[in-house]
Amino acid sequence: MSSETPFQINIPDRKLSILRAKLELATFPDELQDIGWKHGAPLADMKRLAERWRNGYDWRKYEKELNQELPMFTRDIDVDGFGALNIHYVHKKSKTVDAIPLLFCHGWPGSFLEIRPMLSLLTASSPEHPSFHVVALSLPGFGFSEGPHRPGFALDQYAEVVTHKLMIALGYNEYVTQGGDWGFLITRRMAAKYGGKHHKAWHTNFPMADPPTWKSPLSFLSYLLTPFSAEEKAGLERTAWYRNKSSGYFVEQSTFPQTLAYGFTDSPVALLGWFYEKLVIWTDDYKWTDDEALTWISIYWFSRAGPGAAHRIYSEVSGDFYDLGRTSYPTIPMGASYFPKELLLLPSAWLRRLNNVVIESHHTSGGHFAAYERPEALVEDVRKMFAKGGPAFAIVPGRSGYA
């Protein structure tokens, strides 16, 4: 593996000009009267955002802010059977020498931007809570990481390159992880493959689990006889809403991502509509500013592998998506945070059945992008897990998180 290279975002002027030209030529559909959000992103919102993106939104301003705020790097990581991929990542060390190495793994439609509100909180030194050395990468094909060039890049490969090998290359032979969405699945596979020797503990804000079946008679009987709590009923209703009303993207991205890629690569308005819908309906009434949403979506538009590349993860990994206990059983300590507007909210007993859950937190607000929506709450959950007296205190030898 190569040494790391400092990285600064610097989108060529030509790409900015092309974006504005495409937005200038954008054609919009009509809309049914008083339809609101029932059919997706409203026409008025789309026209406003597209116009702002074309005329008024200052990418260079936000590019500069990201470069000043986030210490970013790239390095080549060899992936068995796929050669070397150039991976982009944020790496910020705490002033606490014995800080805990933590890998943050994002999902879709997220990016390395999700670590931004949590970075200073996680790396802060204090006698009151543990501190962390934080690594937050762009998954292959996302952001400024190189994408895979051949099919077959599945969950084992993501676990190998984006987490384990990167952390080893940075000198962190033992580490912990935090992730949601795809980050949950990737770090869970990591926990199963590298748990104990290297991967010491993991935390997620996307606590997905299968219900018990007759193959586990006692668990299945308990499932049938135990009534759901009010929180669990609300979670199951949210899960049903997601599966019935908000999961169409998953079917298309996991079957024919290339078809979508033509629209996303050629039309910034197509990309804008696909993403803005999720940013709004998957959060818990989070008040996105126009520029905030546009910066989030611009990371995809300007991504190294192109605006259509990130969606391929659904097709490549779809066979592993629901493998939550069939072939891999993590045994290392796990922490889970439950936010009421997450997409798949299932009873916590289901999660405990298949994982070594040592701590849970249940919140009254927050959605799919908890790291961005509720950074203080999520950081507090992670701190409790690894704090003095916590269930995973000093889980990384020689790195307690305290001075």
**What residues act catalytically?**
181, 314, 368
By C-alpha distance, which of 335, 329, 331 is closest to 393? Answer: 335
Q: Which pairs count as long-range contacts for 17-21, CB under 8 Å and 24+ apart, including other chains? A: 19/53, 19/54, 19/268, 19/301, 20/54, 20/55
Q: Is the peptide bond before 151 cis (omega within 30 degrees of 0)?
A: no
Q: DSSP secondary structure string, 382-396? A: HHHHHSTTSTTTT-S
Q: Please give the DSSP secondary-structure letter assigned to residue 207.
A: -
CB atoms closer than 10 angstroms to residue 295: 18
**One-letter amino acid identity for 375?**
P
Residue 132 CA neighbour count, 13 Å, CB half: 29
Which of these, 238, 395, 249, lies nearest to 318 by C-alpha position? 249
Sheet holding 175-179, edge to edge: 5-7, 72-79, 83-92, 132-137, 100-105, 175-179, 199-204, 334-338, 357-362
**For tokens 């092309």, what's the residue?**
18
CA dihedral sign of residues 83, 156, 244, 109: negative
Number of neighbouring beta carbons within 10 Å of residue 281: 18
